[in-house]
Amino acid sequence: MRTPTLALTSLLAALPGAASRAEILTVPEAVVRVVSRAAGPNPALIVGLHGYGARETQIATLLPVDIDVPHVYVALRAPLAMADGGYAWFEVSTDADGITVAPGAVEQAFDDLAQRLPHIAAETGVSARNVHVVGYSQGGTLALAFALQRPDALASAASFSGALPPGLAASSDRAPLPVLVAHGTRDALISKGEIATTRDALSSHGRVVTAFDEDVPHVVGNVGRREADFAVRLDNNPPNTLVGKRLYAYTEAAYATPDYLSRDPRSYRWLGWGTATQGAPQWVRTSEFPDNPAWGVFPTIPAQHAAAREGLGIAILPCLFGDADPDLQRAGKRAPVKSRDIWLLTHNDLRQTARVQAFMGFAEAVLRKHRKRLIGEA
């Protein structure tokens, strides 16, 4: 029986009781979850690295869990805990110029990972010479850094929606390590130029780079392309190629630190979601503070959340995250507004499958149990 690959949103992952039973390895100062195993001679160790603000369950959506070669596929949790329940490999900062990585942060994360890999190999009984690292987003950046700096420690590396940071030193070893660099052409976080620079840097140091580009944004799995069997999707207009159930709309509200809100309201600024445009965005004009400017580019919920906690401005956040953060409070008196509908979706030919029905029932029970938190009434 094939285990379904799940494309879950951070909303479901953030809810208590949502984690499934899994084999957790005993590795010093790390949480390592076994995604799948296939017995056989000379098995490969596949190490999955999740994205910023997520956790180890996210990375399992990148690869099928039924690959038919001997392997142990594990997902590693990043070491830096975030306020919203997610984790990060290294700290980043955001400002009007975009996302910035602190000097030495990637190198430190790389050193931490390099120390853990031998322990993971020993715990799984796999040769440390047959390690393959795959990462998404920030995890992809770390996988690429490993390929650039320690090609001798890997059998291959793969990055989805990740890029090398500027100025990262390369190993003098010109090993022909296979490296996949996959990028979505509609990725709003990683530019085509950054991907081109990444591929050139790896190739110029002897790595054998495979480039893969697809017309997708900064995403992991897609149930519509059968990269997943089931999805919890936030969408007011889900594709008609999928079937499922609409539950309810989650809500959003404006949040900032108490210190920030103690200022003169005329000095408030919104944390921007996209690139700068002339005039105020529609969501600002219809807000409780329509005359205050939008500032900066904070294009993800974790980025908005982190910037708000640092006192950089007012963020629009799902109530699930904003209300749960003791360092934030709602800005203004307006009630939370409905955002996107929460849908449980699958393929029509899988809707009667026992494993899909079982998980859809579980996901619905979790989401209905925590409905008040998701609509801002907890």
Element (H, E) at 142: helix 138-149
| Residue 59 DSSP code | G
Q: Which segments within 125-242 are labelled E, that is strand?
A: 131-136, 156-160, 178-184, 208-214, 230-234
Q: What is the pLDDT of residues 329-356, one digit of tens each?
A: 999 999 999 988 999 888 777 778 787 7
Burial 96-134 (b: 16+ CB within 10 A, else e): eebbebeeebbeebbebbeebbebbbebbebeeebbbbb
Q: Which domains does the chain have, with CATH numbers?
A: 8-227 (3.40.50.1820), 229-378 (3.40.190.290)
| CA pseudo-torsion sign 12, 16, 21, 27 | positive
Per-residue pLDDT of the chain (378 residues; tens, 9 = 90+): 223 333 334 444 444 444 444 577 767 677 888 888 888 888 989 999 988 878 887 776 555 555 668 888 988 888 888 766 678 888 877 655 556 777 788 888 888 888 888 888 888 888 888 899 999 989 999 999 999 999 998 999 999 889 998 888 888 889 999 999 998 887 777 889 999 999 999 999 999 999 988 776 776 555 554 445 677 878 787 777 778 899 999 999 999 999 999 999 999 999 987 644 445 677 788 888 998 988 887 777 888 898 899 999 999 999 999 999 999 999 999 999 998 899 988 877 777 878 778 888 888 998 999 999 999 998
Q: What is the pLDDT of residues 251-270, one digit of tens each?
A: 999 999 999 999 999 999 99
CA dihedral (371, 375, 376, 378) in degrees, to 10, reads: -20
Residues 371 and 254: beta-carbon distance below 8 Å:
no
